[in-house]
Structure 1
Amino acid sequence: MEAAAGGVDDMTKLSYLHEPGVLQNLATRYELNEIYTYTGNILIAVNPFQRLQHLYDSHMMQQYKGAPFGELSPHVFAVADVAYRAMIHEGRSNSILVSGESGAGKTETTKMLMQYLAYLGGRAATEGRTVEQQVLESNPVLEAFGNAKTVRNNNSSRFGKFVEIQFDKHGRISGAAVRTYLLERSRVCQISDPERNYHCFYLLCAAPQEELDKYKLENPRTYHYLNKSNCYDLVGVSDAREYLATRRAMDIVGISTQEQDAIFRVVAAILHIGNIEFAKGKEVDSSVLKDDKSKFHLETAAELLMCDPGAFTDALCKRVMVTPEEVIKRSLDPYSATISRDGFAKTIYSRLFDWLVDKINSSIGQDANSKCLIGVLDIYGFESFKSNSFEQFCINYTNEKLQQHFNQHVFKMEQEEYTKEQIDWSYIEFVDNQDVLDLIEKKPGGVIALLDEACMFPKSTHETFAQKLYQTFQKHKRFVKPKLSRTDFAIAHYAGEVMYQSAQFLDKNKDYVVAEHQELLSASRCSFIAGLFPPPPEETSKSSKFSSIGARFKQQLQALMDTLNSTEPHYIRCVKPNNVLKPAIFENVNVMQQLRCGVSASDLLSVFLLYCNLMEA
């Protein structure tokens, strides 16, 4: 079957299913603004980098409602419709997995899916806010606090998200829950040019003047946490308008005016905290506030967080050591006080983000009687940068898990089905990545277990951690020890080799709040801020004191996989056509790389062969 002049809408119709054929077909369709293409029942979505409003209007929704899959042009609505119909007719939960690298359009695709599901399962707006309205408006709130401009994407989600939409027996939306994964805390204090910090900081700096006066804020260029990069504005985006839109969305998801005020007081306080600088004190290894400017920012932050300025200074500059004999107050040198300051800012921000997610969930409410749900997964794509730290390690671990899920579902299960049905077919090879997962998550002796072990020993450094990895995995075919570094290590992932810098792995893996910071904020006169820092539970044993981000993330990921495995999955693979984030440019090399990292031509070929086998049978 020859490809039509405008390409084919399903890759399995191509006469030659190889990389050049796949690329040619996607490029031809992209030129005609046909951004969606099927490969069997997998949807490939190529980011148009422009608004194609006609593709998503209510007329389009009506057309896809109940239409048999494949009858109309490929579309994100068709995938959502199939999931919804399957749920209604089979009484089984479904999930839609949206994957792709940063900038490929996952977040927008997720929004379209949620919009269509709200259209199918919505009810006439009666009094108050409907569940689906709240689900949709949770997007702009979470984007303001969890998304940022990166080198690859102007609106990059710096956290993973799984939205469970619950339905009653009539197929109407009756509840929802948002589960989030691994917010990138380090961004609060560290950004590199031309990236931005989280959107909410810039939105607040663009707020109406009376708000700025209330929070004693100025131009974003004056804040240390924002001015490490020269990028303050996003092309085509008005931060002032987005600020008002975020406040409106907060109203709809049930965040009260008082709570909104407290939220933005915390955001403003973090900006002021970043401008507190330290100088050497009179005593050895002690520090004091550097100048009047630092004193102003500390006092303002204390006022916004409603805590005592003196206690605030002590929490940043001193540590209390409790020994069996006495309690000693130890001073920190200016460098350690700066680390303490940044740790403080990251802790407050991540607690604030968790509060927002909990608030959204309690406002929307869950339906305890719901028998079925549709889960929509929008999670970070595979990442490989010049410098890769703990965040990239966790993100790529997630992608290994999802790749295995894809392999098992599309290949293993299909092939088991053929064997069961006694269909004559030839076995198709696919890359099984269980060995990479064992390397990362095995207990004992996987990378995460060894990292936790290193974090528990006071004398461990990233050097000793790296040496332990080299020693443990010297014969592992997926682990690479670089020739020119004593602390880097590489993992041969399914999507390619990634070199990790171990320097901050230990710090980023420790999930603890400095006791002085905890004490200061739980004593805040503002109940909202004190509520972010409830007293820690009484420790029952010594070992339970250590809590690691890696171990918690591994548990969350396993829970997510258990949920996905109990549902019927549907796949959407998003592709970024170029690195300049502009419409009408299709870079073959770039796209080919992504197809190899995600649904590769060999995967497509395997899917194609499975279909051919099925047809012949």
Structure 2
Amino acid sequence: MTRLSYLHEPGVLDNLAVRYAKNIIYTYTGNILIAINPFQRLPNLVDVQTMEKYKGANLGDLDPHVFAIADVSYRQMMNEGKSNSILVSGESGAGKTETTKLLMRYLAFLGGRSGTGGRTVEQQVLESNPVLEAFGNAKTVRNNNSSRFGKFVELQFDKSGKISGAAIRTYLLERSRVCQTSSPERNYHCFYFLCSAPSEDIKKYKLGDPSSFHYLNQSSCIRVDGINDAEEYLATRNAMDMVGITEEEQEAIFRVVAAVLHLGNISFAKGTEADSSVIKDAKSRFHLNTAGELLMCDCEKLENALIKREINTPEGVITTTVGPNSATVSRDGFAKQIYSRLFDWLVNRINASIGQDPSSDKLIGVLDIYGFESFKTNSFEQLCINFTNEKLQQHFNQNVFKMEQEEYTREQINWSYIEFVDNQDVLDLIEKKPGGIIALLDEACMFPKSTHETLSQKLYEKFKNHKRFAKPKLSRTAFTIQHYAGDVIYQSDHFLDKNKDYVVAEHQELLNASRCSFVSVLFPPAPEENTKSSKSSSIATRFKL
């Protein structure tokens, strides 16, 4: 790219388009690689022969390639003792997850070694991908296999350059997807995989067609071209074997997944008393009992945990009833907590199975983080995702523009100043303490009477003169942020609920008492001193850290 005669936007785009038409999907701009999603398999581009070709080659000697970036990172680590991170960034559907897998494959190719029990460390790292994708990826508008969580994989190497351990960290699983999907998107892959499992599993978990479950049939998209759910179920089970998840654990995992589906089919009707609810009909009763059986908990206590609430008062504990709407919110909150804790367990289990090398001082990290998002409806998740991308953009600016130009000045090189947009003001708008959007959101979550309307009014008043913040003319609850990649209108409707990471005490106690040790481990008893702080725990603040 730097060799172009005219380095402006039309020239850059034309260069990328000409190369893309020839299936040349990789282009360098300095030492940064631009990868354009080909939306097709290009096996000759990523085979072992290609890996061999790039091994030890200097950057720029061969055609641009993701393997070249990984090779430079590996050789810097080995020759200069530098630990490195490779950042894979781009908007949703750009191909980040596939690019990350190619990077991991190449690093495993360079640093492969035999592990204990016949399973190599690098095999386990690579096989963790299909497991995490099954539970953390979904079809979205732009992408049939969109990561709905961020992932940082840290590969540890010994002195000889062989992979000696690895650790996976994940960020902000999109919990709301468990209960809410809209056409043409799907829920998480694992739900559809399980509904296409062999008949004995279907019978065991009392499942049926995906379209019969509320958490899946809100969208008209049940099946996806190019994804065979039955085959993917078996592939996921095989990958679980590879990363050391036992047969007994797999059985419990899919029992929990099935229980979430059954929970979603429990409907409520008005009870005889004011603000009370009952299980709506025999069909809902069947799904309630099935969910209880799968979670191995008392079905009557499960029912009470959904339609009743215990309140601590100075006089003692008072049990109150809740209406059908509140019971539905309780059901969905319960399902989201179960699923997110299952996902966290999977990540921890994979890390324990792979093992870390505490003596390693040679590391390569690969960050696969959600791309910039701007949809018809943008909520709390999009704010967190776009905040992340603002952070990455600042890092990019710091490294590509600020540091380079400071070096030119120090070395008295004759150059013309390159203008670039400094996005520090957007970051301050979102994260500054006190008074940023996240701080105001956390504050609102601490007051029971706060609503998305009161939050929005506070934001309008606080940022009415901020050049990056605007109030849409015809809305009383939406707000616009001028991001580096464009303006995004956010709907604040569910911001408060989505930012709270609070487990209802009755839900916690119910599943902690489960006869299934796997389920009870997902919901350990909360220490007394942490009870208050857990109520005000904030997803956005934890994510920001």
TM-score range relative to shorter protein? over 0.9
2:332 is the alignment partner of 1:342: yes
- Tell me if structure 2 keeps the 8 A contact 1:539–1:545: no
Tell me how far 1:41 sits from its aligned partner: 1.1
Shift of 1:386: 1.1
Corresponding position: 1:546 with 2:536? yes
Shift of 1:60: 0.4
Look up the SS of the partner of 2:92 in the other structure.
coil
> What is aligned with 1:495?
485
Gaps of 5+ in 1: 1-10, 556-617
Letter in 1 for 2:445: C
In the alignment, the residues of structure 2 paired with residue 514 and residue 541 of structure 1 have an alpha-carbon distance, to the nearest angstrom, of 11
User: Does 2:511 align with 1:504?
Assistant: no
* Among candidates 217, 235, 240, match of residue 245 of structure 1: 235
Aligned with 2:218 (options 225, 228, 234): 228
Q: How far is the alpha carbon of 1:425 from its aligned partner?
A: 2.6
Q: How far off is 1:461 after superposition?
A: 0.9
The percent identity for this pair of structures is 76
Which residue among 352, 360, 366 is the counterpart of 1:362? 352
Displacement after TM superposition at 1:420 (Å)? 2.8
Partner SS for 2:489: strand
Query: Which of 268, 287, 291 is the matching residue for 2:281?
Result: 291
User: Structure 1, residues 107-157: CA drift from partner, whole Å, max 9, x if none?
Assistant: 100000000000001125674211100000000000000000011100000
Calculate the TM-score normalised by the size of structure 2.
0.98
Q: Kindly indicate whether the alpha-carbon contact (under 8 Å) linking 1:103 and 1:156 is maintained by their aligned counterparts in 2.
A: yes
Q: Does residue 1:196 correspond to 2:182, yes or no?
A: no
Q: Flag the 1:59–1:127 CA change in 2: closer, same or farther, 3 A.
A: same
Distance 1:542 1:128, change over 3 A: same
Deviations 1:430-466 (A, max 9, x none): 1111111011101100000000111111111111111
- Give me the whole-angstrom Cα distance separating, in 2, the residues matched to 1:159 and 1:470: 30
Q: Provide the residue aligned with 2:14 in structure 1.
A: 24
Q: How many residues align?
A: 545
In the superposition, relative to structure 1, how do residues 554 and 190 fare at CA in structure 2: closer, same or farther (>3 Å)? same
Question: Larger deviation: 300-309 or 98-107?
Answer: 98-107
Q: Deviations over 1:171-193 (max 9, x none)?
A: 11111111101000000000001
Given candidates 343, 354, 364, the residue that maps to 1:353 is: 343
Q: Distance in 2 between matches of 1:485 and 1:124?
A: 60
Which of residues 466, 474, 477 is equivalent to 1:476? 466
Cα distance in 2 for partners of 1:446, 1:44 equals 33
Report the TM-score when normalising by structure 1: 0.87
| 1:35 matched to 2:35 | no
Kindly provide the amino acid, as one letter, of the partner of residue 169 in structure 2.
Answer: R
- 1:213-612 to 2 correspondences below 5 Å: 213-539=203-529, 545-555=535-545
What is the one-letter code of the residue matched to 2:82? R
In the alignment, the residues of structure 2 paired with residue 291 and residue 342 of structure 1 have an alpha-carbon distance, to the nearest angstrom, of 19
* 2:19 pairs with 1:51: no
Task: Choose 29-38 or 301-310, whichever is displaced more.
Answer: 29-38
Match of 1:119 in 2: 109
Q: Deviations over 1:288-317 (max 9, x none)?
A: 111111111010110000000000000000
Contact 2:153 2:366 in 1 (8 A): yes
Match of 2:151 among 144, 155, 161: 161
Post-superposition shift, 1:538?
2.4
Amino acid in the other structure paired with 1:248: N
- Using CA pairs below 8 Å that are at least 6 residues apart, which structure has the higher relative contact order? 1
RMSD: 1.2
In the alignment, the residues of structure 2 paired with residue 372 and residue 52 of structure 1 have an alpha-carbon distance, to the nearest angstrom, of 32
| Match status 1:205 vs 2:195 | yes
Structure 2 Cα separation of the partners of residues 155 and 470 of structure 1 = 37
Cα shift at 1:227:
0.6
SS at match of 1:491: strand
Who is 1:565 aligned against?
none
CA distance in 2, matches of 1:57, 1:461: 54
Query: Structure 1 456/127 Cα, relative in aligned 2: closer, same or farther at 3 Å?
Result: closer
- Aligned: 1:105 with 2:95: yes
Paired amino acid for 1:399: N
What is the SS of the residue equivalent to 1:13? coil
Q: Which runs of 5+ in 2 are unaligned?
A: none
Partners of 1:384 and 1:442 in 2: how far apart?
Answer: 23
Larger deviation, residues 369-378 vs 17-26: 17-26
Task: Give 1:594's aligned residue.
Answer: none
Cα distance in 1, alignment partners of residues 360 and 411 from structure 2: 34
